[in-house]
């Protein structure tokens, strides 16, 4: 479930984050899988190229997992994923971003 879905349950992310912090590779994978499609769709709208969007998605997911220690239970996990993931968007090919004809 992506964070904008009506069926999204933040409590599942909190449990996965706790387990991932404890070293569970399964929890890390579950977090990445839960947010991968949502992040990819945002990336694709930004760069309008499936390969670049996939690369950005991978970068963001790696940053997300590397920054789990910064997650505080008072915020949504999806906010951490996107806030830590903004750097790859900033560094992407600015010509591709500038040339896009529509915005989200």
Spans in the chain with pLDDT lower than 50? 94-95, 98, 100-104
Q: What is the pLDDT of residue 96?
A: 53
Distance separating alpha carbons of residues 101 and 36, to the nearest angstrom: 25
Q: Which residue range is the domain that position 27 belongs to?
A: 10-92
Q: What is the pLDDT of residue 103?
A: 45
Q: What is the pLDDT of residue 7?
A: 72
Q: What is the pLDDT of residue 19?
A: 93
Read off the DSSP letter of residue 8.
Answer: -
pTM: 0.70
Asked whether residue 98 is domain-assigned, the answer is: no
Asked whether residue 20 is domain-assigned, the answer is: yes
Q: What is the pLDDT of residue 104?
A: 42
Asked whether residue 53 is domain-assigned, the answer is: yes
Asked whether residue 18 is domain-assigned, the answer is: yes
Asked whether residue 5 is domain-assigned, the answer is: no
| Number of structural domains the chain divides into | 1
For 75, half-sphere exposure in the C-beta direction (CA atoms, 13 angstrom radius) is: 11
Rounded to the nearest angstrom, the gap between the alpha carbon of residue 32 and the centroid of all alpha carbons in its chain is 8
CATH number at residue 67: 1.10.1740.10
Over the stretch 68-87, which tens digit does the pLDDT of each residue have?
A: 887 766 566 666 666 655 55
Asked whether residue 4 is domain-assigned, the answer is: no
């Amino acid at each position: 479930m992506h964070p904008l879905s009506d069926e999204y349950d933040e409590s599942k992310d909190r449990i996965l984050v706790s387990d991932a912090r404890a070293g569970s590779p399964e929890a890390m994978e579950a977090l990445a899988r839960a947010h991968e499609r949502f992040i990819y769709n945002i990336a694709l709208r930004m760069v309008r190229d499936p390969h670049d969007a996939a690369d950005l998605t991978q970068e963001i997911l790696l940053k997300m997992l590397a920054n789990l220690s910064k997650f505080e239970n008072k915020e949504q996990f999806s906010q951490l994923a996107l806030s830590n993931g903004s750097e790859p968007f900033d560094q992407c090919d600015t010509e591709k971003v500038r040339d896009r004809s529509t915005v989200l």
